[in-house]
């Protein structure tokens, strides 16, 4: 951090010139701060150029193209006029080289559906790229280009989690396709949750460094020139930067890259094995806490990681490896960003009011019961729907609450009576004609028996809905 190094001589000079008599010997010595704000006009003029020179060569431009079939107006099509035409759609974004053999990380939405992906290096050379892995939940994708024996400049992934609100950061990318651009700002907030459901992928670094269309997939770097996040999206009423940008933290970036390089097709996220909720002011008062902190354990999955770690219903999880937990998304991210097999230390407030430290082993969610995915056919209310047995693994894949199960979930609705009946992806099938449905096999059996009238009960958004059909 160049600004900090330049500041040290000034602090030493001020200390040497101060009056020793003005300091109270009774007052204990204070620990030296690890971060110092600029104090003089000279400090404010300190350049970011050394950081940019280190980081910028590893930031690339990415263009993606796909051909889509454009349909004609159905009115003219009835008269045999016009024909479908092919139209080329493109997107521009940024990316970061994270391995010298050409492995690049970017946002998934930059390359999603791309039939041709081109990567332009900082020296303006262009290479076709191969998609190794796309992960919609984190909006991250991993590409690779072939430069032969040439070793490319890389950005080191800093996932040590020592970033603090107020730290200086740089955003490097290709806004509006104008070319590589550097903007500066600070970390405005940490552990921002974009999904109120507490998705394990939704804990972001917020920054006021200007991020605009085209910056997606670019680098958020600290003053050591290391990658601390991938710029993902902004919140803005105008569509341009309003100083509220979000980056996926480096810990999850590393997990996605490791999965892709290892040949994996899907990121396996460890799960907690417990259902939790944020501690509100009302909840804090009801359980005797002086202020709202952490997340409350509402339910524990039998024999899951949380149960084996000793978590119990009514516990409040306060920290993970010493980092404060403020919401469900932050907790799930802290667990989900770990590699399976790693251990985490949970700081817990017991229901009795005491505190304890528990050790949780990060494990992938179990795929029990077996998925048994089927598309329903025949003359019944589910014709055209695709259903699966809901297990923790399937719930993680779909981003839904595993505690809805066990049971049968609708995952897709195609052409057929299911669409006309109003079934939706995410519906849980609870009973058909009075018979409880616990598995896809149960559903298939009752449908195969046939009937002229059907009574179907589903669960949607926590509410049970019963409808009657005649076919």
pLDDT recorded at residue 74: 60
State what percent of residues in the chain have pLDDT above 90: 62
Please write the tens of the pLDDT for every residue from 105-118.
Answer: 999 999 988 889 99
Angle formed at CA 458 by CA 457 and CA 463, multiple of 5 degrees: 110
Does 62 lie in the same domain as 102?
Answer: yes
Does 107 lie in the same domain as 62?
Answer: yes
Does 172 lie in the same domain as 131?
Answer: no
State what percent of residues in the chain have pLDDT above 70: 83
| Residue 77: pLDDT band with limits 50, 70, 90 | low
pLDDT recorded at residue 37: 60
Active-site residue numbers? 109, 139, 216
- Number of residues that this document lists for the chain: 471
* Structural domain contains residue 32: no
* Structural domain contains residue 74: yes
* Structural domain contains residue 79: yes
Does 131 lie in the same domain as 71?
Answer: yes
- Mean per-residue pLDDT, 288-299: 93
Q: Range with the lowest mean pLDDT among 27-41, 324-338, 341-355? A: 27-41
Query: How far is Cα of residue 245 from the mean position of the Cα atoms in its chain?
Result: 14
Does 466 lie in the same domain as 383?
Answer: yes
Please write the tens of the pLDDT for every residue from 365-379.
Answer: 999 999 999 999 999
Does 225 lie in the same domain as 175?
Answer: yes
Mean pLDDT of the chain: 85
Report the CATH number that the domain containing residue 196 is assigned in CATH. Answer: 2.40.10.10
Q: What is the helix (H) or strand (E) element at residue 463, kind and residue range?
A: strand 463-470
DSSP string spanning 91-148? EEEEEEEEETTTEEEEEHHHHTT-SEEEEE-TTS-EEEEEEEEEETTTTEEEEEE--T
Q: Range with the lowest mean pLDDT among 40-54, 63-77, 249-263, 424-438? A: 63-77
Q: Give the Cα separation of 353 and 152 in Å (integer).
A: 54
Q: How many domains is the chain partitioned into structurally?
A: 4
Does 278 lie in the same domain as 239?
Answer: no
How many C-alpha atoms does 93 have within 13 Å on its Cβ side?
A: 28
- Mean per-residue pLDDT, 407-424: 93
Query: How far is Cα of residue 258 from the mean position of the Cα atoms in its chain?
Result: 16
Contact (CB, 8 A) for 96 and 60: yes
Please write the tens of the pLDDT for every residue from 81-102.
Answer: 555 565 556 678 999 999 999 9
Please write the tens of the pLDDT for every residue from 219-246.
Answer: 999 999 999 999 999 888 877 788 899 9
pLDDT recorded at residue 121: 95
Does 114 lie in the same domain as 70?
Answer: yes
* Structural domain contains residue 182: yes
Domain range enclosing 138? 57-145
Distances (CA, A) of 15 to 92, 263, 302: 52, 56, 60
* Structural domain contains residue 16: no
Q: Give the Cα separation of 20 and 25 in Å (integer).
A: 9
Does 383 lie in the same domain as 462?
Answer: yes
- Mean per-residue pLDDT, 117-126: 93
Q: Give the Cα separation of 389 and 374 in Å (integer).
A: 10
Contact (CB, 8 A) for 104 and 60: yes
Please write the tens of the pLDDT for every residue from 8-17.
Answer: 333 333 333 3
* Structural domain contains residue 13: no
pLDDT recorded at residue 375: 96
* Structural domain contains residue 139: yes
Of 99, 130, 145, which residue sits at a domain end? 145
Of 340, 361, 382, which residue sits at a domain end? 361
DSSP 25: T
| Residue 137: pLDDT band with limits 50, 70, 90 | confident
Report the CATH number that the domain containing residue 455 is assigned in CATH. Answer: 2.30.42.10
Contact (CB, 8 A) for 359 and 327: no
- Mean per-residue pLDDT, 5-28: 38
Higher pLDDT, 72 or 448: 448
* Structural domain contains residue 427: yes
Q: Give the Cα separation of 219 and 173 in Å (integer).
A: 7
Tokens matching residue 222: 């600290």
């Amino acid at each position: 951090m160049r600004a900090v190094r330049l500041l040290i001589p000034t602090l030493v000079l001020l200390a040497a010139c101060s009056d020793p008599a003005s300091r109270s010997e009774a007052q204990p010595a204070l620990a030296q701060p690890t971060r110092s704000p600029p104090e003089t006009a000279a400090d404010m003029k300190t350049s970011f150029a050394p950081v940019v020179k280190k980081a910028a060569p590893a930031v690339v431009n990415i263009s993606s193209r796909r051909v889509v079939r454009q349909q004609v107006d159905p009115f003219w099509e009835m008269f045999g006029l016009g024909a479908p035409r092919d139209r080329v759609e493109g997107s521009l974004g940024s990316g970061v080289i994270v391995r010298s053999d050409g492995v690049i990380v970017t946002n998934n939405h930059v390359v999603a559906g791309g039939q041709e992906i081109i990567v332009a290096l900082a020296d303006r050379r262009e290479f076709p790229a191969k998609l190794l892995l796309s992960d919609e939940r984190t909006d991250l994708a991993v590409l690779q280009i072939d430069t032969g024996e040439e070793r490319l400049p890389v950005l080191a992934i800093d996932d040590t989690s020592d970033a603090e609100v107020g730290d200086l950061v740089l955003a490097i990318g290709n806004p509006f396709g104008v070319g590589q651009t550097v903007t500066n700002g600070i970390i405005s907030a940490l552990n921002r949750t974009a999904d109120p459901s507490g998705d394990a992928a939704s804990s972001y670094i917020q920054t006021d460094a200007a991020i605009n269309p085209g910056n997606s997939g670019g680098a958020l770097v600290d003053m050591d020139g290391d990658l601390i996040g991938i710029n993902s999206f902004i919140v803005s009423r105008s569509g341009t930067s309003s100083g509220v940008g979000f980056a996926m933290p480096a810990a999850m970036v590393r997990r996605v890259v490791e999965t892709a390089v290892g040949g994996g097709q899907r990121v396996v996220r460890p799960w907690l094995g417990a259902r939790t909720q944020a501690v509100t002011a009302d909840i804090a008062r009801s359980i005797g806490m002086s202020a709202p902190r952490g997340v409350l354990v509402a339910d524990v999955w039998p024999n899951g990681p949380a149960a084996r770690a000793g978590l119990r219903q009514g516990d409040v999880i306060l920290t993970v490896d010493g980092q404060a937990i403020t919401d469900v998304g932050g907790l799930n991210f802290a667990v989900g960003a770990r590699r399976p097999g790693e251990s985490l230390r949970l700081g817990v407030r017991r229901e009795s009011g005491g505190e304890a430290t528990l050790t949780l082993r990060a494990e992938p969610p179990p795929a029990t019961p077996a998925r048994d995915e089927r598309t329903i056919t025949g003359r019944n209310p589910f014709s055209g729907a695709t259903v699966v047995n809901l297990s923790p693994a399937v719930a993680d894949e779909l981003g839904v609450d595993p505690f809805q199960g066990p049971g049968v979930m609708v995952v897709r609705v195609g052409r057929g009576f299911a669409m006309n009946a109003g079934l939706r992806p995410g519906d849980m099938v609870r009973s058909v004609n009075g018979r409880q449905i616990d598995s896809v096999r149960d559903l298939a059996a009752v449908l195969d028996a046939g009937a002229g009238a059907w009574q179907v009960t589903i669960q949607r958004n926590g509410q049970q809905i019963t409808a009657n059909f005649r076919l």
